[in-house]
Amino acid sequence: MSYIETLKKLKKNSISPIYFIYGTENFFIENIKKEMMKQVVNNNEDNISVYSLDEVPIQEVIQDVETYPFFGERKLVIANNPVFLKSKSEKLPFEHDLSALEFYLTNPVDYTVFVIIAPFEKLDERKKISKSLKKYTSMVNCEPIKEREIRAWIETIINGLHITLDKEVYDLLEAEFSTNLQLLEVELEKLALYAGEEGHITREIAENIIAHNINSSSLRLVDAVIENDLKRAISIFKDLQILKEDPIALIGLLAFQFRTILRVKLLKQKGYSQFQMQKQLNVHPYVIKIALGRERQFTIQKLQQIINQLANTDAIMKQGRMEKEIAFELLIYNIIYKAA
């Protein structure tokens, strides 16, 4: 099951006796755990047991799972880090009796919800116990969502919040939060609170409400440069000044953005695919996607000239030949109006 499907079932009190959660997206894992604690035992900590399987053998955990709850009718037992599912075994001061787990998978009790969480990038699916978990449990995929799935993820959240977004808002949210789903959900909830049910969010509203980080602000600066919007570029810079961001650091971020655009443009001319570019440059896939959308706006000559201007302004600031703020504003003006 997916993360979303699992949450929906839990909220409807459709609960399985055994769950096997795998993947490294901690945001998904933590949300599912919170919902389980709420739905299974009503957040009663007396009926919750948590183990780490690199510290406790599985047979001891199974003993707890099979023990009737002292408080209430149902309990929740969570077993983290099942190292016996990895390809390379870890040396432990004890042995896991996997036969105890094998037996329990086919004979679960009805008063315990047992959850095994494997926060690993890869499992050894050749092992007998891996196959048994796949066969007898409710498996929950908590792997990080792929870059191409971000937009669908946003759609899922806003449908639940009953709001709609301009296309530009999707782009903005992807640029800001593609690597932090928790912040993405928080910011969408803020937008929904502002717009109200059935409300609509424009780019202007989103830019005023969402919490921008310094890296994404450099993306917005590049957007303003591409659009030859000096007023907007200076406005973004003024916002960053309020946040005490150093103009030298901003030049570094802008240089990274324009160097990436240049490198992507050169790789595109050589026939590289988006995936090959990502491997070659060793950056997040979304960085490549953004650069591909921008490279058409520039010639190689113009990109090289912009990078030289950034380097020259960086030297001017570091040598103290001009006030940093004035030098940065002059830089933005020159990039927009004087770059060939």
pLDDT tens digits along 234-283: 988 887 787 788 899 889 888 988 999 999 999 999 999 988 998 899 87
Kindly indicate whether the domain formed by 147-209 is annotated with CATH number 2.40.110.10: no
Which of 141, 178, 151, 173 has its CA nearest to residue 283? 178
- Packing angle of the helix pair 26-41, 3-11 (nearest 10 deg): 10
In CATH, the number for domain 214-337 is 1.20.272.10
Q: Compute the average pLDDT of residues 40-60.
A: 93
* Range in 97-101, 152-156, 274-278, 325-329 the model is least confident about: 152-156
Q: Give CA–CA dist 192/186, Å, rounded.
A: 10
Of 65-74, 140-149, 316-325, give the lowest mean pLDDT range: 140-149
More confident residue, 18 or 241: 18
Tell me how far apart the alpha carbons of residues 173 and 171 are, in angstroms, rounded to a whole number.
Answer: 6
227: tokens are 């659009």
Closest CA to 139 of 19, 257, 266, 281: 19
Statement: residue 340 has pLDDT above 50: no
Decide if 147-209 and 214-337 have a common fold.
no
* Higher pLDDT among residues 332 and 90, named by residue: 332
Distances (CA, A) of 322 to 218, 249, 338: 22, 16, 20
* pLDDT for res 318: 93
Phi/psi for 113 (5° steps) reads: -100, 115
Percent of the chain with pLDDT over 90: 51
Nearest-CA neighbor of 268 among 255, 281, 257? 281
Mean pLDDT of the region 106-123: 94
- Give the residue, 49 or 159, on which the prediction is more confident: 49
Note the residue count of the chain. Answer: 340
More reliable by pLDDT, 172 or 324: 324
**283 vs 306, higher pLDDT:** 306
List strands edge to edge, sheet with 75-80. Answer: 48-52, 75-80, 112-118, 18-22, 138-141
Q: What is the mean pLDDT of residues 22-51?
A: 92
Which residue is listed with tokens 């240049």?
A: 262
Instruction: List Cβ neighbours of 207 (8 Å cut-off, separation of 6 or more).
Output: 172, 220
> CATH classification of 3-141, choosing from 3.40.50.720, 3.20.20.70, 3.40.50.300, 3.40.30.10?
3.40.50.300
Q: What is the pLDDT of residue 68?
A: 92
- Per the prediction, the chain carries an average pLDDT of 88
Domain ranges of the chain: 3-141, 147-209, 214-337
Share of the chain above pLDDT 70, in %: 96
Q: Has residue 179 got a pLDDT over 90? A: no
**CB-based contact 137:105 (threshold 8 Å):** yes
**pLDDT at res. 282:** 85
